[in-house]
C-alpha cells in the first residue's frame, strides 16, 4: 500500500511517502505549479498507485489538490485541519515540525477511511475565487470606514490623510462592484449556476450580493452530499459534550467548517426573520416557545435555511415558506 502525506505551507510543500508501511525520507518542494509537477513525477514512480492526504489550508492547498486529482493513479483526500490536529493527539506526538506533520498525514491516510476529493468544475472554482475576493474587499472597506470615522473625530488629522482614506473607500467600492458584475456574468454563462442562483435569490432576504457568496460556497461542495453534510461542512452542526453522569454542557455550534457559508447566510437570515412571514414565525417560535436567545435563534434559522436551499437545489423547486415552518392558525387569520 502506497500512501503519502503533504504538509502545505505558503511557500513550501513537505511530502512524506510510505510504501508498505516503510516511511521514506521527507522531501521539500516549492508550492508552485512546477513544484506540484515535481511531486506528481515522484508519486507516479510508485507502482500500484498512491493515496495522498493533505490538509485544507486556506487557499494554499487548492491548486495542489486539483493537480493531484487530475493525475492518473493518484487519489487525493483533503481533510479538515481539526481532524489532523486531533489525530496528532491520539498519536501522542511530542514535536511539531513540517516533516512530523507530513508524516502524521501519511499515517492518517493509511489508517483512516479514505474519502476521495472531487475536483470542482472550472466555473465554480472561478466563482468562489471572485466571491472570496469580494468578501475580503468588503472587510477591508469596513475597516477603512472605521478608520475614517476615527480620523474625522479629531481636528489634528491632516486633510490629505482624510482625502486619501476617502479615495481608498471609493476605490474599494468600485472594485467590489466590478467583481460583482463579473460574478453575475459568469453565472449567466452557465445554466447550472444560473438556475441555482435564481432559486436562491427568490428567497426573501437573499439579494444578488449575498446570493453570489452563498452560491459560490455551496456549488464547490462535492455532489451527492446530504443536507446534514452541508450543515456539518458549514460548521452549523451542534457539538454535544457529555461525560459520565455529572458533565452535560449545553450543545453549541461546532464551528468546525467553512466560515464563508456561515458568514454568507447570516445577514440574509436576519433580513428573512423580518420580511419572510414563515421564517419570521419560526424565529419568533424559537424565542418565545423554546426560550432561545436572539443570536441562538438566528443560528437555528441559518441551519434550517441551509436545509431548505439543499432541498430546493435537489428538487429544482422554489422556496416554499409553508415547508419551512407552518404558521399557527391565528397568525394566518
Task: Summarize pLDDT for 224-269 with one digit per residue, the tens.
Answer: 778 887 887 777 755 434 444 444 345 455 455 577 888 889 999 9
Residues 321 and 221 in one domain: yes
Residue 147 lies in a domain: yes
Q: Tell me the residue range of the domain where 80 lies.
A: 2-111
Residue given cell 508501511 in the structure block: 21
- Cβ atoms of 179 and 223 closer than 8 Å: no
Mean pLDDT (whole number) for 286-314: 92
CA distance 275 to 61: 40
The pLDDT value recorded for residue 95 is 79
75 and 25 assigned to the same domain: yes
pLDDT higher than threshold 90 for residue 281 = yes
In Å, how far from its chain's centre is CA 51? 24
- Rounded CA-CA distance 187/173 in Å is 21
What tens digit of pLDDT does each residue of 93-138 get? 877 899 999 999 999 999 999 988 888 888 998 999 999 999 999 9
In a domain, 127, yes or no: no
Q: What is the pLDDT of residues 46-102, one digit of tens each?
A: 988 999 999 887 678 888 998 999 899 999 999 888 788 888 888 888 778 999 999
Domain membership flag for residue 260: yes
Place of cell 435569490: 201
Q: Which three cell numbers stand for residue 7?
A: 504538509
Is it the case that residue 28 has pLDDT exceeding 70?
yes
Flag whether 128 is in a domain.
Answer: no
User: Percent of the chain at pLDDT above 70?
Assistant: 92
Higher per-residue pLDDT: 80 or 164: 164
125 assigned to some structural domain: no
Mean pLDDT along residues 210-227: 87
Q: Report the Cα–Cα distance between both ends of the chain, in Å, rounded.
A: 67
Q: Which of 42, 76, 111 is the last residue of a domain?
A: 111
Q: Are 328 and 288 in contact (CB under 8 A)?
A: no
Instruction: Decide: helix, strand or coil at residue 48.
Output: coil
Residue 97: phi, psi to the nearest 5?
A: -135, 170
**Within a domain: 198:** no
125 vs 101: CA distance, rounded Å:
27
Whether residue 318 sits in one domain with residue 274: yes
Residue 333 has pLDDT above 60, yes or no: no
Looking at the domain assignment, is residue 207 inside a domain?
no
CA distance 304 to 323: 11
Task: Looking at the structure, tell me whether residues 221 and 326 fall in a common domain.
Answer: yes
Q: Decide if pLDDT at 165 tops 60.
A: yes
Rounded to the nearest angstrom, the gap between the alpha carbon of residue 227 and the centroid of all alpha carbons in its chain is 15
> Which three cell numbers mark 291?
426560550
Q: How many domains does the chain have?
A: 3
In a domain, 149, yes or no: yes
CB–CB of 38/49 below 8 Å?
Answer: no
Q: Which runs of consecutive H residues, i.e. helices, occur in the chain?
A: 33-44, 62-69, 81-91, 98-111, 122-152, 159-189, 191-201, 208-218, 227-233, 259-275, 277-288, 294-315, 321-324, 329-332
Rounded to 5°, the CA angle 85-76-190 comes to 110
CB 330 within 8 A of CB 285: no
Residue 248, C-beta contacts closer than 8 angstroms, at least 6 positions apart: 241, 242
Instruction: Write down the pLDDT at residue 239.
Output: 47
DSSP letter at 46 equals S
Cell of 91: 498519536
As a dihedral over the C-alpha atoms of residue 8, residue 14, residue 19, residue 22, rounded to 10 degrees, the angle is -120
pLDDT at residue 58, rounded to an integer: 65
Spatial separation of the C-alpha atoms in residues 2 and 20, rounded to whole Å: 6
Give CA 77 to chain center in angstroms.
16
Q: Which residues pair with 78 in a beta bridge?
A: 54
Q: Same structural domain for residues 182 and 228?
A: no
| Cell numbers at 287, concatenated | 424565542
Amino acid at each position: 500500500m502506497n500512501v503519502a502525506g503533504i504538509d502545505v505551507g505558503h511557500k513550501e510543500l513537505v511530502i512524506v511517502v510510505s510504501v508498505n508501511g516503510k516511511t521514506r525520507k521527507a522531501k521539500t518542494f516549492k508550492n508552485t505549479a512546477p513544484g506540484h509537477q515535481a511531486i506528481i513525477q515522484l508519486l507516479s514512480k510508485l507502482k500500484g498507485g498512491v493515496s495522498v492526504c493533505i490538509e485544507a489550508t486556506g487557499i494554499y492547498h487548492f491548486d495542489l489538490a486539483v493537480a493531484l486529482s487530475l493525475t492518473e493513479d493518484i487519489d487525493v483526500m483533503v481533510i479538515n485541519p481539526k481532524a489532523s490536529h486531533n489525530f496528532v493527539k491520539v498519536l501522542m506526538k511530542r514535536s511539531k515540525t513540517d516533516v512530523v506533520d507530513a508524516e502524521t498525514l501519511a499515517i492518517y491516510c493509511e489508517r483512516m477511511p479514505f474519502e476521495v476529493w472531487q475536483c470542482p468544475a472550472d466555473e465554480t472554482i472561478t466563482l468562489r475565487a471572485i466571491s472570496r475576493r469580494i468578501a475580503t474587499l468588503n472587510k477591508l472597506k469596513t475597516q477603512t470606514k472605521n478608520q475614517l470615522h476615527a480620523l474625522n473625530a479629531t481636528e489634528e488629522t491632516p486633510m490629505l490623510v482624510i482625502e486619501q482614506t476617502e479615495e481608498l473607500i471609493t476605490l474599494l467600492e468600485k472594485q467590489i462592484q466590478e467583481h460583482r458584475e463579473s460574478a453575475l456574468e459568469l453565472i449567466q454563462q452557465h445554466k447550472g449556476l444560473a438556475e441555482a442562483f435564481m432559486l436562491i435569490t427568490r428567497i426573501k432576504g437573499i439579494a444578488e450580493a449575498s446570493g453570489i457568496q452563498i452560491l459560490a460556497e455551496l456549488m464547490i461542495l462535492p455532489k451527492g452530499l446530504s443536507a446534514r453534510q452541508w450543515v456539518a461542512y458549514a460548521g452549523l452542526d451542534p457539538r454535544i459534550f457529555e461525560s459520565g453522569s455529572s458533565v452535560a454542557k449545553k450543545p453549541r455550534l461546532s464551528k468546525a467548517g467553512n466560515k464563508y457559508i456561515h458568514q454568507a447566510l447570516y445577514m440574509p437570515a436576519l433580513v428573512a426573520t423580518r420580511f419572510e412571514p414563515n421564517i419570521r414565525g419560526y424565529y419568533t417560535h424559537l424565542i418565545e416557545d423554546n426560550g432561545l436567545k436572539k443570536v441562538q435563534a438566528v443560528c437555528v434559522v441559518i441551519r434550517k435555511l441551509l436545509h431548505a436551499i439543499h432541498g430546493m437545489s435537489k428538487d429544482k423547486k422554489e422556496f416554499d415558506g409553508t415547508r419551512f415552518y407552518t404558521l399557527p392558525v391565528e397568525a394566518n387569520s
